[in-house]
Amino acid sequence: MASNAISNNKIAPNFKKLRAQKGYSLEKVARLADLSLNTVIRIESGVNKNPTIETLTRLAHALEVSVDGLIK
């Protein structure tokens, strides 16, 4: 496992909840975060349990939360 990867099974449900609160589609989050739609889907579905810190930072920025808010 890469040392900069964060292993936290709360990412998927937290991301889904925050996205729903904003009323954002998966496509909108992908666009705002400058990530592929596939990447965003894999994180929300829990397929990708260890997104890089760069990916988490982009998602947090898109959802206007801190990275901590996304992973805890």
Domains in the chain, number: 1
Residue at 2 is within a domain: no
Residue at 59 is within a domain: yes
Q: How confident is the model at residue 1 (pLDDT cuts 50, 70, 90)?
A: very low
Environment class of residue 29 by beta-carbon count within 10 Å: exposed (0-12), middle (13-18) or buried (19+)? buried
Q: List, for residues 20-68, the tens digit of each pLDDT value.
A: 999 999 999 999 999 999 999 999 999 998 899 999 999 999 999 999 9
Q: List, for residues 2-18, the tens digit of each pLDDT value.
A: 444 555 579 999 999 99
Residue at 1 is within a domain: no
Residue at 57 is within a domain: yes
Residue 66 sits in a domain whose CATH number is: 1.10.260.40
Q: List, for residues 24-34, the tens digit of each pLDDT value.
A: 999 999 999 99
Domain boundaries, position 34: 11-71
Residue 72 is predicted with a pLDDT of: 87
